[in-house]
Each structure stands twice: as C-alpha cells, then as structure tokens.
Amino acid sequence: MRHTLPIAPQFYVTAPQPCPYLDGRMERKLFTSLQSDNADKLNDALSKQGFRRSQNVLYRPSCAECVACLSARIRVADFTPNKNQRRVLRRNSSLRREVTSPWATEDQYALFRRYLDSRHADGGMADMDIFEFAAMIEETPVKSRIVEYSRKIERPANQSLTAVCLTDVLDDGLSMVYSFYDPDRAGDSLGTYIILDHIEIARRAGLPYVYLGYWVPGSRKMGYKAGFRALEIYKNGVWQDIGDAAAHSGEAHPLSVDPIAEQVARISLPESQPVKS
C-alpha cells in the first residue's frame, strides 16, 4: 500500500514586544522551525501563506489585536517599471551583479555595519556582531543565494561592494530575506534597484513572483513597497491585488485576530514523498 504523510511541524508564539513599525502597538509572532528533511517544501508552502524565513525559523505576525502586517509579492509577468524606477535602473546600470552561495565575508559585514549604523541604529539588529551576522547568512536549510552588487574602481583595479541581498529560491519565486547597501549612496535608491533586479532575475528564471516581506499600512519604513506595480498582498487568507493602497488600514481591535489554534488549523502543510507500508 502506498500513501503520503504530511509534514507536521510544531507551532509556537513569541511573547509580546514593542512593534518596530507602528508606535504604541505590540508585536507577536507565530513561528515554527524548518525541518531538515523537507525544509524546502515547508518553506515553499508557508511562504505562500504569509510566512518569512529567518535562519532555520519560519514566522509570520500574529499580534493579539492587530492585523496591519501584510505579506507582499510582485507578479513578475505583469510588472512594468514606472518613470522613477526606470531612472533608478539607468542610475545603477554600471553595477555588477554576482550570485554566490550563502557565505558571509568581512566585506559584507563591514557594509552591513555601516548600513545599520546609518539607518537602523536603534533597531533589533544594531548589536549584531560578525558571528551573528555569519549565522544570519549561512544558517539556511533551504536553497539560498547571496546576491552582491559592486561598482568598478579604476584605482585600485577591483570592485567596491555596494549592496547585498540574501535571497531564497522558492518553487514559485524569489524571496528577498534581507538586503542592505551603502548608506552614502542614498540618492541612488539602491533598495529599489535591488528589487527591480530581482524581478529581472526571476523573469529570466521563469519564476512568477518576487516576495518582498511585509507591507505595513501606516509605516513609513514599509511604504515604498506599495509603489511597485503588480503588487499582491496576503490578506484574509488569500493573495489579492493591492488595489488602492490607501484603502488598507492597520486594523487593531480585540476581534481582528483569530485564536492561535484556529490560525494553525488553517495552515496548509506540504506532503512528503509517497512511502510504502
């Protein structure tokens, strides 16, 4: 007899802590560990349901009274850059892209530190040392890549690391896990450029989506994501076109979030390969 067995990970909830995106709100996450034997399948399945990866953990917001955080992805086939994004592409056309295995380097960490000190000095990663940085990059049980962007320097004849993105390769797209870039080049809109380049990478690979992480209505940190055409958000258990971004609000009241047990019961898990018994 042949049958399939579902992967059955255990889900947990973090303790509440101050929200990094919306003042006065508390953040809570639903999370599970990635199982080594079927990590890629679990990452693929849960990414389609609003989860994100951090090292060997998958998580999504599950705040007690708030549903503001919405997973966002771009439909590659339908995307066309707007006028400003075309300028960003031209401005950064001299950048050289290199895709490598997830391996941390001293140059990456130096750029990462400059980025944090300039833009997120009071954030949760502010105290991350080089060993923790290496763990963030290298501890991945799924198919991941480091995408580096460099500018050519004539003297000396080498490359100047300008931007980096840790990227997961899903069965239906690219998931941008974390990116950082040279803070002295703020005028080059490098964050936007990295997304635009990932759209092109996905297009060439025949992958339909680029996953951007969470879009949070009312958060200035996340507002730029709504500026990309063909953007979908995961809301009320389904992917839907964002439509008018102003129509979405960070709803917050005791009845806006279902109980954890109900949330977990609705999660669709992948199946393992057929086994004999």
Which domain, by its residues, includes 266? 2-276
d(CA 191, CA 189): 6
Separation in Å, CA 91 to CA 28, 79, 144, 160, 186: 39, 20, 28, 16, 12
Establish how many alpha carbons lie within 13 A of residue 218's alpha carbon, considering only the half-sphere containing its beta carbon: 18
Q: Are the CB atoms for 34 and 7 separated by under 8 Å?
A: no
Q: How far apart are the first and last CA of the chain?
A: 6
Residue 258: its pLDDT value, please?
A: 82
pLDDT average per 10 residues of sequence, the chain (277 residues):
58 92 91 87 96 96 90 98 97 96 96 88 76 96 97 64 97 97 93 98 98 90 90 94 85 73 91 48
Global pTM exceeds 0.85? yes
d(CA 16, CA 216): 18
d(CA 128, CA 37): 29
Establish how many alpha carbons lie within 13 A of residue 233's alpha carbon, considering only the half-sphere containing its beta carbon: 21
- Give the CATH number of the domain where residue 77 resides: 3.40.630.30
Residue 158: its pLDDT value, please?
A: 56
Residue 268: other Cβ atoms inside 10 A: 9
Residue 65: its pLDDT value, please?
A: 85
The number of distinct structural domains making up the chain is: 1
Burial of 228 (0-12, 13-18, 19+ CB in 10 A): buried
d(CA 211, CA 167): 10
Residue 7: its pLDDT value, please?
A: 54
Cis peptide before 16 (omega within 30 of 0): no
Residue 153: its pLDDT value, please?
A: 64
Residue 250: its pLDDT value, please?
A: 67
d(CA 39, CA 45): 10
d(CA 73, CA 76): 9
